[in-house]
Amino acid sequence: MQDHCKRTGTLPRLQVLEIFRSSESRHLSAEEVFRRLLYHGSDVGLATVYRVLSQLEGAGLLSRNVFDGSKAVFEINEGGHPQPSGLGSVDPW
């Protein structure tokens, strides 16, 4: 299963989501996600982390925030879930 996920490009998405699910911090920057992935032995690159964060935001699974003009941070979007298509609109629970 993990090999299939890796071939189809979903393994990085699963790894990034797991970082958010297991994090004690509510908000994480792309760099923080990248460092945590490296710590856990992942070979995902920083560019992939940015791309995955953007995809997960587009799917409604993550929200992007910028506080006081600093860099963007992301958090799990508790207020919605993606449509069956996997991208686009977010419906309320």
Q: Is 68 within the bounds of a domain?
A: yes
Report CA-CA distances (Å) from 57 to 1, 12, 46, 60, 65.
25, 14, 17, 5, 11
- Provide the number of structural domains found in the chain: 1
| Structural domain contains residue 85 | no
In a domain, 72, yes or no: yes
pLDDT tens figures, 16-47: 999 999 998 889 999 999 999 999 999 999 99
CATH number for the domain spanning 22: value is 1.10.10.10
Q: Which tens digit of pLDDT belongs to each residue from 41-87?
A: 999 999 999 999 999 999 899 999 998 888 899 999 876 554 444 44
Range of the domain at 21: 2-80
- Report the predicted TM-score, pTM, of the whole model to 2 decimal places: 0.74
**With bands split at pLDDT 50, 70 and 90, how would you rate the model's confidence at 12?**
very high
Number of separate helices (H) and strands (E) present in the chain:
4, 4
